Structure 1
Amino acid sequence: MTQANECENIAELFKGFSACAVANISDNLDRAIGARGIRPFHNGGTMAGRALTVKAAPGDNTFIYQALEIVSPGDVIVVDGAGYEDRALIGEIMANIAESRGAAGFVLDGSIRDVDAISSKSFPVFARNVIHLGPYKGGVGKLNVPVSIGGMSVNPGDIVVGDSDGVTAFGPDIASDLLKATRRQQAKETDILASIANGTYTGAYSK
């Protein structure tokens, strides 16, 4: 496969997963893979993209700025902030920078601020909490290393999907089969909802 074809295939996967519910994706990951305590703060919509991972010192956003210097279109900036909630890792300015550079969104195991501005826009921002206190500067960190987000492991290049229910991530090697399975489940659930609406539902459903 040429690089152009590979990029086209990845873009199609992102598009496919952006039309899937995270709950259905999670069901087809044995209901075992998902970030706990991470929720959306933006104005709705599904995020799907490729993980650009950041290991940050608790409450410190030095390496998030470094990630913004190398972010590519379609990247989700995934920040392991160790779940530290007492300092905001990003706010309106950093979210706008990421959006302007084509990022697909932010996922932070930590806090954010400027929540009114972030919640007024559709650019995806998932985080643990909100606090007005700004970040520390000059801390240690790493880019493109395995990280943990709400107890979920994320590797550089993983596909990350988020919606109103939360965030999940998985390797690109299983993405094609996972998308097919998720679509089958969603079609089945659509049929079930139709049968409930028209009075023909029999109660026989399991996943």
Structure 2
Amino acid sequence: MTFATTDLCDEFEQEISVLDPIFQSFGGQTRFSGRVATLKLFEDNSLVRELLGEDGQGRVLVVDGGGSRRCALVGDMLGELAVKNGWTGLVIDGCVRDSAALARLPLGVRALAAYPRKSVKLGTGQKQLDIRIAGCAITPGHWLYADADGIVVSPRQLV
């Protein structure tokens, strides 16, 4: 699939949202897209592991991690699980770790920063609800498109 977020912004300006430019790229894929699945949690990646263990069906997991920079919500093992189960990308409003290993995976990964400390695993959080990160409302089932110029979200598939 080829697309450019700049072209999507030009063509579909009235129906897309553009996430604030706060994310860094950590995955081996700079360009990725897919239907959105969402999680809302704080410093506990139990639900991330659970959801990435399911068939991704080409989806993108968007995690509202509360912007925490005190632990990582995704590392190389969860990145490998995402690839194995057919997820195309991850957008984490929080941190990742094992960044060198994530960069070798055929997976799009955007996060606020890299941080070496792992998260707790208490099983807390919520799945598949409307979230708000980087200035945008994101709903499960919407479509996300990311490339080197940014991340856009649309209520429908654009390409």
TM-score normalised to the size of structure 1? 0.70
Find out whether 1:47 has 2:36 as its counterpart: no
Q: Secondary structure at the match of 2:53?
A: helix
The question of whether the paired residues in 1 share the 8 Å contact of 2:15 and 2:154 is answered with: no
Which is worse superposed, 127-136 or 137-146? 137-146
What is the CA-CA distance between 1:86 and the residue it aligns to? 1.4
- The aligned runs of 1:14-163 (5 Å cut-off) are 15=1, 19-27=2-10, 28-30=12-14, 33-36=17-20, 37-57=22-42, 59-163=43-147
Q: How many residues of Structure 1 are paired with residues of Structure 2 in the alignment?
A: 157
- Greater CA radius of gyration, 1 or 2? 1
Q: 1:73 to 1:31 in 2, by over 3 A?
A: closer
The question of whether the paired residues in 2 share the 8 Å contact of 1:52 and 1:78 is answered with: yes
Of all paired residues, the percent bearing the same amino acid is 26
* Superposed CA offset, 1:127-158 (max 9, x none): 11110011122152111111122121110011
* Matched residue type, 1:113: R
The question of whether the paired residues in 2 share the 8 Å contact of 1:40 and 1:163 is answered with: no
Q: Partners of 1:105 and 1:32 in 2: how far apart?
A: 19
Which structure dedicates a bigger proportion of its chain to helix? 1
TM-score normalised to the size of structure 2? 0.89
Higher relative contact order (CA 8 A, sep 6+): 2
The question of whether the paired residues in 1 share the 8 Å contact of 2:53 and 2:85 is answered with: no
* Superposed CA offset, 1:152-175 (max 9, x none): 111001101111122111101xx3
What is the CA-CA distance between 1:22 and the residue it aligns to? 1.3
What is the CA-CA distance between 1:24 and the residue it aligns to? 2.2
Which stretches in structure 1 are left out of the alignment for 5+ residues? 1-14, 180-207
* Superposed CA offset, 1:82-119 (max 9, x none): 11111100000000001100111111111000001111
Q: Partners of 2:30 and 2:153 in 1: how far apart?
A: 17
Q: Partners of 2:30 and 2:123 in 1: how far apart?
A: 33
Which stretches in structure 2 are left out of the alignment for 5+ residues? none
